[in-house]
Amino acid sequence: MKTINERLDEILPRITSPSFRENKGLGNEIGYHIFDYQPEHEMLIRNHVAFLKERINKDSSNQRITEFDLYEVVLEILDGKGYLQKNFQMEQKKDSQHVLNATRKALRLTLNNDLVIKYIAERVEQNDIIFITGIGKVFPIIRSHVILNNLYKAVGQIPVVLFFPGRYDGQELQLFGEIKDDNYYRAFQLVDY
């Protein structure tokens, strides 16, 4: 079994190989990949994502990493609509479940006009690689399988890498190794163990 550092070292050559963008070896299926990791490695992952973005965005003219921290995306959307302060006030008067439901409704999650998906789609270009981070921070507002299921309609063949604090066995996502998400079969392990 590889260490976390050995697995992280394999990301750069993997995402810069021509076959990664062309989806070769995947039956030309959707280029969705998951890099799962133990939650205690979160800070290491954040640092490595920053390193990868800096390295590729500085050194490459034909490829760019665009990162979307889902937690930051949700905060920006809510703030832009004037809902963020209202959520804080609502939480003082009502319970967290009420705020959670109101937030999901405000974001229009899983609907055709899902604001998180729209936010991502408006900020990517064809030569990008999309990095999705912040899954653990945004739980339970957004579930990872919901993003993966709905993102394809908006970004097409742009490769996506989801950094997932938990376990992905090729069929099932388990956030923090504890919370079962719905099954998701279309993503591939970015780097094996």
Give the pLDDT confidence score for residue 40 in this predicted structure: 97
Q: Give pLDDT, residue 41.
A: 97
Query: Phi-psi region for residue 164, left (φ > 0), alpha (ψ -120 to 50) or beta?
Result: beta
Which sequence spans correspond to the domains of the chain?
4-189
Profile the chain (193 residues) by mean pLDDT over runs of 10 residues: 96 91 60 94 98 91 92 95 83 82 88 92 94 95 88 88 93 83 76 92
The Cα 38–Cα 52 span in angstroms is: 19
pLDDT score, position 180: 73
* pLDDT value for 182: 65
Instruction: Tell me if 131 sits within 8 A of 70, measured CB to CB.
Output: no
In this prediction, residue 88 carries a pLDDT of 80
Fill in the amino acid letter for 138.
V
Peptide bond into 18 cis (omega under 30): no
State residue 77's pLDDT score.
Answer: 95
Q: Which tokens sit at 138?
A: 């945004």
The reported pLDDT for the residue numbered 110 is 80
